Structure 1
């Protein structure tokens, strides 16, 4: 759970999204799958939008413009961050996040992936200013520091890889 390993894992997960994007045509990318739920484009919109918002929170923590909170996250949140995955079962997306999901084109998804990759690559420089007391509130997990925000991004991004794979299976 080091910054370096989380960064590498996140980059690897984003590589999955980049490679998958090359294999799907635009019409299928925008089509609601047979299993219902989100189209590929909506999953990409969600995960890329959530990662960009998470980066903003992470940067605020690193720049010390976030709130000062000394209390550690709840034990359930610490367990999620430690295990690197969400509990089994389907979670309902908070309305504040679901309202931001929309169908985006493959080009928009590709451009957002490039933007996120660039931000990840710049992370090493900024973590020298890390202070665990600067935290931003996550809609479900409570107050997270910069390291926790990075860890959340890894977990969340990998979680939606499984969703992409389920959607792909439903088209077969």
Structure 2
């Protein structure tokens, strides 16, 4: 499934939630669906900012990915595991956006993906930005990471849906 179709699926599914379901937190330390949406949107925008930074770069970086980063790109997806970020990077996402706000923000992600889709492969592969977990990534790798991250959170989305649809 293409990144754009994947995000369309997120947008479509968003319409099935009431505002109460969107903001429902099942337990301390567990995100609501709205927080998960906020997270994937913020991260997508950050990754697309890095595509843009790579495109504007004039300095080549010869360093590459970490071992985990190599594995991630070899399989083309995150492994089916829960990833716990360090506390300083794990600020809970916003739980206040409406469905309309989230839909508009998803539209912005899609707009930026479309803007870079035809240009990303023209960017020098050695113009890179460092990802703390995956190492030095070029524009194409940051671009691809958007879809990998959205796919990774589909499992979480299903788990959260089961909790409030079965509550």
Calculate the TM-score normalised by the size of structure 1. 0.85
Structure 1 residues 1-172: aligned runs within 5 Å: 9-33=2-26, 37-64=30-57, 68-95=60-87, 97-99=89-91, 101-103=93-95, 104-127=97-120, 129-171=122-164, 172=166
How large is the RMSD of aligned CA atoms in angstroms? Answer: 2.0
- Residues 126 and 9 of structure 1, relative CA distance in 2, 3 Å threshold: same
Calculate the TM-score normalised by the size of structure 2. 0.88
- Distance in structure 1 (CA, Å) of the matches to 2:4 and 2:112: 11
- Residues 96 and 49 of structure 1, relative CA distance in 2, 3 Å threshold: farther
Would you say how many aligned residue pairs link Structure 1 and Structure 2? 164
C-alpha contact (below 8 Å) 2:55/2:123 kept by paired residues: yes
C-alpha contact (below 8 Å) 1:35/1:170 kept by paired residues: no
Task: Name stretches of at least 5 consecutive residues in structure 2 with no aligned partner.
Answer: none
- Residues 99 and 88 of structure 1, relative CA distance in 2, 3 Å threshold: same
